[in-house]
Amino acid sequence: MFIKPIKKYFINRRNKKAEILSEDDIHDIHDLCKKGFIKARGTGQTITNINIEIVNRVNRKIKILIPHGTYFVSTGSHQNMVTRKQYTFSISPYDTSHINVPASCINAELPIPGKDSKFKGVARVNDDLCKFLEATDGYDPMTIQAGVWAITNGYNRYMALNKLSAEDQYGNRTKPITESNVDTAKEILDKLNIKNNL
């Protein structure tokens, strides 16, 4: 495969910079993206999941950490998606990894991502949301979603309960976020001393 000289120069320069990466250490996805060692992209799946693609751009094996509070940045008008779990995985030189990650929507005023929604790059949410996500790891996704919107958009109980609706094959409508979800989210937020309107 022929590589143009200027492209080869940048690839070599990136690989030279990547020599600082120990293959034994775990590296934060945010730092790796910022330094250009990896690319992070995603596509929507549902309100509770995102499909992510990580591309290793260097000739080193990398152990990657996706910490709580990592969100994938929307490339359109839809909401950003923040991961609900912490992940660690390895990626071989110049390889691509595909992962399905549990996630919650942030920016409640924007449309919920669908399967055609795209994401590019990562960022971190604020400290309060990070603390909440760490404390709710493993909880019901709708409990976490209610708490997330309470933090990011100041949602009160009524708003959280009525934001979402679902319809089954018979046309029956339900509200995925229940009173119990909101009660639990509020209890956790209060315990963490995070101001909320739930």
Q: Domains in the chain, please, with CATH?
A: 22-125 (2.60.40), 126-198 (no CATH)
Q: Does the pLDDT value for residue 119 go beyond 60? A: yes
- The answer to whether 122 and 67 have CB atoms below 8 angstroms apart is no
Calculate mean pLDDT across residues 117-124: 94
Task: Give me the pLDDT at residue 128, please.
Answer: 97
Q: How far apart are CA 79 and CA 85, in angstroms?
A: 18
- The answer to whether 176 and 142 have CB atoms below 8 angstroms apart is yes
Task: Give me the pLDDT at residue 171, please.
Answer: 73
Which tokens belong to 146?
């209610």
Which tokens belong to 21?
């990466």
| Per-residue pLDDT band at 13 (split at 50, 70, 90) | confident
Task: Give me the pLDDT at residue 96, please.
Answer: 96
| Per-residue pLDDT band at 2 (split at 50, 70, 90) | very low
